Structure 1
Amino acid sequence: MIDVSFKIETRGLTLAFGDRVIQRDVALRIRPGSIFALMGGSGCGKSTVMKGLFGLLRPIAGTVLIDGESYWDASDDRRIEINRRYGVLFQSAALWSSLTVAENVALPLKLFTRQKPAAIADLVRLKLALVGMEAAADLMPSELSGGMRKRAGLARALALDPEVLFFDEPSAGLDPITSRRLDDLILELRGGLGTTIVLVSHELPSLFAIADDGAFLDAETQTVIASGSPTELRDHCAHPTVQAFMHRERTSESRTPIMQSNGGDADGS
């Protein structure tokens, strides 16, 4: 029996590249309006699972249900319709380097709507204002700091008013202050727009600050070994892999800025 109280649900989802299985039998239940985190160490398949959720990678087994509808059993046209309900912020922001910030945000509107140029320009201004980037509309991606690129990518992800936003390592490469500002922005978007958010992250401060549900993926067993919010997993999950992750020492990470201090911040953020 299908439970349509879940925005996204997976059953027996198995993802692979060729003969190499990345994750098997993944069962997720993502409720509308939640901030759902895919957690785990490097190489466990977090980004791969996310790609399976929004249709970038076809599973070798299992089902992805969107509001109770099977994504991969739908027609090509129907999958395109479903995809238009998504917004994706990739780890690198994936902005087109030859387009201005405003042109990047306008691109989905030009490709997937019949809005007139004046209406598109108004919508672009609105989306940039939502992320505090209206003053950067005419800048090129190369002129942006790392944090600004993330926010510009987020504005583009919001262009079509998505019901679900997917974030792949939104805080990667950002300093702690910029990362916190992005976390606050994600919470504001969820609160103001009611958007369901699925994020991949291994950054503990961000996970504890914004995620209210999630799943922990394990590289060794290639399975989901725990489910719940980051706080619940930290306080109540006895699995040693989960505990090592949630209570891990960050000594090597804390040394990184000192080692790189002579080179400065490449992103300028």
Structure 2
Amino acid sequence: MPDQTVLSLRDITLSFGPKIIQKNISLDVRKGSIFAVMGGSGCGKSTLLKSMIGLLRPSAGEYHVGDENYWAGDEAHRTDLNHRFGVLFQSGALWSSMTVGENIALPLQMFTDLKPSVIRRLVELKLGFVGMLQAIDLYPSEISGGMCKRAGLARALALDPDILFFDEPSAGLDPITSARLDDLILNLRDGLGATIVIVSHELPSLFHIADDGIFLDARTKTPIAHGSPRDLRDNCTDPQVHAFMHRERDEEGKT
């Protein structure tokens, strides 16, 4: 795997007014990696993701996308960088008044000059990649939650981004559907060479797909561990990280 940093944060502070959510966040996301943002409820995982996709400006610190300082330029500069991003929101976030195909076509209509026939073909390709071509003319209300997640993923891929952000992609899915989504995420990394940042608290998913990560602590409002979920499970001695990483085995009486 190339040891090339595509995203880097240095001494980032995230806050809403005087309320600090997290501080002293520094991390590097390597090209082709699946980087996990971990931690308990309320620690700021989704807030960090929002900042990384440009929805929340940090109170302090620097954020680089490749060699570009994300917040140093103007809005047009950030828009250009955002075209490198694809985002899968927690609910799928499909427009209910549009068909699945129309949802995937929307970014192509907004940001390219492609003909409708070409856009239709690209939509078919993206939906085919996630196994959703049969739903191209259906509305979100006519498909399952797992299918909505895959359709949201197809939309995230519409502009061929090289960096993907996923917010709790397995939330609300049954174990079999969740495992299939994990395999699809691995295919994105291996087949397309995408770099992926994922927010999740689903341990089976994290252990299966993530090869690097950061653990955020709600109490200290700082990161307290770095490394892959498997490494943190097996080697981290911090009691909070240990409890988080072993919670399912504890609940099952296996430790």
Asked if these proteins are the same fold (TM beyond 0.5), I'd say: yes
Contact 1:133–1:148 (Cα < 8 Å) also in 2 = yes
**C-alpha distance in structure 2 between counterparts of 1:45 and 1:116, whole Å:** 41
What aligned pairs does 1:156-171 form with structure 2 within 5 A after superposition? Answer: 156-171=155-170
Q: CA deviation at 1:18?
A: 1.6
**C-alpha distance in structure 2 between counterparts of 1:48 and 1:56, whole Å:** 9
What aligned pairs does 1:1-269 form with structure 2 within 5 A after superposition? Answer: 5-249=4-248
- The superposition leaves residues 131-172 of structure 1 with CA deviations (integer Å, 9 ceiling, x where unpaired) of 000000010000110100000000000000001000000000
Q: CA deviation at 1:19?
A: 1.3
- TM-score, normalised with respect to structure 2: 0.96
**C-alpha distance in structure 1 between counterparts of 2:117 and 2:133, whole Å:** 16
- The superposition leaves residues 18-52 of structure 1 with CA deviations (integer Å, 9 ceiling, x where unpaired) of 21110001001000100000000111000000111
Q: CA deviation at 1:5?
A: 2.8
Q: CA deviation at 1:108?
A: 0.2
Unaligned runs of 5+ in 2: none
Contact 1:6–1:68 (Cα < 8 Å) also in 2 = no
Q: Post-superposition, which runs of at least 4 consecutive aligned residues in structure 1 deviate over 3 A?
A: 249-253
**C-alpha distance in structure 1 between counterparts of 2:143 and 2:89, whole Å:** 16
Counterpart of 2:50 in structure 1: which amino acid? K
**C-alpha distance in structure 2 between counterparts of 1:21 and 1:66, whole Å:** 24
**C-alpha distance in structure 2 between counterparts of 1:213 and 1:250, whole Å:** 21
Q: CA deviation at 1:227?
A: 0.3
- TM-score, normalised with respect to structure 1: 0.91
**C-alpha distance in structure 2 between counterparts of 1:96 and 1:194, whole Å:** 28
Q: CA deviation at 1:54?
A: 1.2
Partner of 1:264: none
- The superposition leaves residues 63-85 of structure 1 with CA deviations (integer Å, 9 ceiling, x where unpaired) of 10110211000221111000011
SS at match of 1:56: coil
Counterpart of 2:162 in structure 1: which amino acid? E
Alignment CA distance shift 1:252-1:19 (3 Å): farther
Q: CA deviation at 1:249?
A: 3.8
What is the RMSD of the two structures over their aligned residues, measured on CA atoms?
A: 1.4
- The superposition leaves residues 201-221 of structure 1 with CA deviations (integer Å, 9 ceiling, x where unpaired) of 000000000000000000000
Partner of 1:263: none
SS at match of 1:49: helix
- The superposition leaves residues 206-252 of structure 1 with CA deviations (integer Å, 9 ceiling, x where unpaired) of 00000000000000000110000000001111000000000014788
Count of aligned pairs: 250
Unaligned runs of 5+ in 1: 254-269
**C-alpha distance in structure 1 between counterparts of 2:211 and 2:184, whole Å:** 16
- The superposition leaves residues 78-118 of structure 1 with CA deviations (integer Å, 9 ceiling, x where unpaired) of 11000011000000010000000000000000000111101
SS at match of 1:51: helix
**C-alpha distance in structure 1 between counterparts of 2:192 and 2:26, whole Å:** 27
Q: Percent identity?
A: 65
SS at match of 1:7: strand
**C-alpha distance in structure 2 between counterparts of 1:143 and 1:134, whole Å:** 14
SS at match of 2:232: helix
